[in-house]
């Protein structure tokens, strides 16, 4: 009897806490009419931002504010929309948190800043610039645009990014690229691992470099690449039989390799100071 | 001739002939004459750049991204082209600023690259690119790092350890890359390591000073 009474009390308390928390949250909706190639910028110190393709000439933003210690400042100049989470005195990572869900025209350019993130962007073909300290960055199904990502230790994942100019700098976050191709794909990492799984297509220049992070790249057996790999102190391995080529540095077995596969349409540079490098051939079933 | 009329024919005037009316306006209007002088200077810089080694696509890419991010340029559209003459007065010459900035950045990079190349050719093999052009981590004021960490700790105590660890890693990368360049001064890849390491350090400082990233 006593325990059921306690349970009932517990339910009431939990319910009340839920009501209080829900009351502290505020949902705000914003609609902006924009033209072609709109530019959307969101600066959100604490909390996630998710951007997806929506209506052709409209930006729809849903912001959930977790307390009254934070406001959303908005500004529109033509097709340029800016939203800023404005922290009020006393705000911290919990009370200053704002969740953004954003629908933009597919051709829009998007700039997102958040310390904590996560940042998520998908199905766009405009430029995308994402910066976050510890933010987890997830980008998928992008075509054509420039994709620039900077994180301190937030992991970065790009999936199905085609014909893009991709530049990623992450100090200690792991970088994973799945089906990423284009004229320029560049990753600059410090201790984070770099993992590429794709076809190195688009007659592009691919450069994956790190200080201590391992680099693993997987390509199909019929890839068309001119590849150079080198690690000053780490082990370097290739599953491919390469046609030898001239390099500006001496090739030491196990620490560097260089050569071509197929017609060598794309240039691939895998460089690490002390990380391991492995160029893998994708197994076909 | 009014300033508005003059600005309309400005593109034809730069490096070309001027009519009597245009010359008269230039003599009487200090704003337009200074504008023409600036444009001529930029035009000359641009011509001298043509003869230089072309910076990497990444340089142009970064400039483009920076300008686009500032909203100073955007992808061309038919609508934008149609409305180009309807800019308010204060925007008529605003485009000069990013153009001049872009040219100066490009000129600086080209000059740096040229100096780097000459230095490597002239110095004995043991000389380093790093020691000639970039301050070593030891030489840089470590007080800067401490100051940075202090600032991060004040704004976001939770992030201090992350910044500290990454700063340590970046400085270690710079040291390794400097050593590598020192041992192999003609090794392009070693120089690329150094460039990447400094890029990381710059990014870390930029993030630490960006209020939205703390």
Shortest Cα distance from B120 to chain A (angstroms)?
Answer: 16
Token pair listed for A32: 């902006």
- A191 CB neighbours in chain B (<8 A) are 169
Q: Cis peptide leading into B5, omega within 30 of 0?
A: no
Q: Is B198 on the interface with A (CB under 8 A)?
A: no
| Residue among A177, A87, A108 nearest A137 (CA) | A177
pLDDT at B6 over 60: yes
A248 or A119: which carries more pLDDT confidence?
A119
8-state DSSP, B71:
T
Q: So where are chain B's domains?
A: 1-51, 54-122, 126-214
pLDDT at B130 over 60: no
pLDDT value of position B90 = 37
Q: Is A172 on the interface with B (CB under 8 A)?
A: yes
Q: What confidence category does residue B102 fall into, taking pLDDT thresholds of 50, 70 and 90?
A: low
ipTM: 0.81
Q: So where are chain A's domains?
A: 25-116, 136-285
Helix (H) or strand (E) holding B121: helix B96-122
Q: Is A231 on the interface with B (CB under 8 A)?
A: no
Shortest Cα distance from A44 to chain B (angstroms)?
Answer: 6
Lowest-confidence region among A74-88, A180-194, B172-186 = B172-186
**Under 8 Å CB-to-CB from A139, ≥6 apart: which residues?**
A120, A121, A122, A128, A130, A147, A149, A156, A157, A158, A159, A161
Token pair listed for A172: 């200690």
Q: B131-190 pLDDT, tens per residue?
A: 344 445 554 557 788 888 888 888 778 888 888 889 999 998 998 888 888 888 888 888
d(CA B45, CA A120): 42
Do B212 and A274 lie within an 8 Å CB cutoff? no
- Between residues 112 and 171 of chain A, which touch chain B (CB distance below 8 Å)? 113-115, 126-127, 129, 131-134, 146, 148, 150, 152-153, 165, 167, 169, 171
Shortest Cα distance from B9 to chain A (angstroms)?
Answer: 27
Q: A5-29 pLDDT, tens per residue?
A: 666 666 655 555 554 554 568 999 9
Q: Is A250 on the interface with B (CB under 8 A)?
A: no
pLDDT value of position B123 = 35
Q: What is the DSSP string of B173-204?
A: HHHHHHHHHHH-TT-HHHHHHHHHHHHHHHHH
- Between residues 190 and 219 of chain A, which touch chain B (CB distance below 8 Å)? 190-191, 209, 211-212
Do B214 and A115 lie within an 8 Å CB cutoff? yes
């Amino acid at each position: 009897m006593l325990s059921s009474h306690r349970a009932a009390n517990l339910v009431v308390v939990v319910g009340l806490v839920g009501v209080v928390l829900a009351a502290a949250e505020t949902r705000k909706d914003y609609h902006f009419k924009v033209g072609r190639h709109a530019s959307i910028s969101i600066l959100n110190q604490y909390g996630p931002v998710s951007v997806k393709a929506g209506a052709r000439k409209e930006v729809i933003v849903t912001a959930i504010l977790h307390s009254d210690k934070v406001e959303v400042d908005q500004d529109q100049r033509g097709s340029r929309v800016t939203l800023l989470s404005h922290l009020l005195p006393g705000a911290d990572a919990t009370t200053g948190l704002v969740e953004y869900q954003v629908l933009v025209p597919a051709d829009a350019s998007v700039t997102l800043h958040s310390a904590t993130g996560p940042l998520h962007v998908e199905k766009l073909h405009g430029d995308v610039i994402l910066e976050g300290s510890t933010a987890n960055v997830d980008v998928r199904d992008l075509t054509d645009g420039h994709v620039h990502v900077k994180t301190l230790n937030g992991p970065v994942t790009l999936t199905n990014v085609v014909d893009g100019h991709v530049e990623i700098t992450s100090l200690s976050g792991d970088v994973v690229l799945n089906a990423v191709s284009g004229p320029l794909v560049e990753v600059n990492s410090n201790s984070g691992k770099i993992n590429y799984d794709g076809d190195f297509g688009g007659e592009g220049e691919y450069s994956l470099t790190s200080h201590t992070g391992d680099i693993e790249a997987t390509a199909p057996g019929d890839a068309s690449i001119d590849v150079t790999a080198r690690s000053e102190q780490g082990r370097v391995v290739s599953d491919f039989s390469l046609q030898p080529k001239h390099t500006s540095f001496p090739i030491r077995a196990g620490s560097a390799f260089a050569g071509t596969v197929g017609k060598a349409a794309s240039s691939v540079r895998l460089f690490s100071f002390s990380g391991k490098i492995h160029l893998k051939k994708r197994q076909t079933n | 001739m009014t300033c508005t009329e003059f600005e309309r024919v400005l593109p034809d005037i730069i490096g070309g002939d001027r009519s009597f009316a245009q010359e008269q306006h230039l003599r009487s209007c200090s704003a337009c004459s200074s504008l023409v002088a600036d444009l001529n200077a930029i035009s000359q810089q641009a011509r001298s750049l043509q003869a230089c080694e072309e910076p990497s696509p990444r340089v142009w890419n970064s400039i483009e991204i920076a300008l686009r991010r500032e909203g100073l340029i955007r992808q061309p559209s038919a609508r934008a082209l149609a409305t180009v003459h309807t800019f308010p007065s204060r925007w008529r010459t605003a485009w000069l600023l990013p153009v001049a900035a872009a040219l100066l950045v490009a000129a600086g990079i080209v000059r740096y690259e040229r100096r780097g190349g000459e230095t490597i050719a002239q110095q004995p093999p043991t000389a380093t690119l790093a020691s000639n052009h970039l301050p070593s981590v030891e030489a840089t004021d470590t007080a800067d790092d401490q100051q940075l960490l202090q600032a991060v700790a004040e704004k976001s105590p939770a992030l201090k350890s992350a910044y500290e660890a990454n700063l340590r890693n970046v400085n270690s990368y710079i040291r390794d890359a400097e050593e590598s360049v020192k041992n192999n001064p003609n090794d392009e890849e070693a120089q690329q390591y150094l460039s990447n390491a400094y890029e990381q350090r710059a990014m870390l400082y930029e993030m630490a000073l960006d209020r939205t990233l703390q």
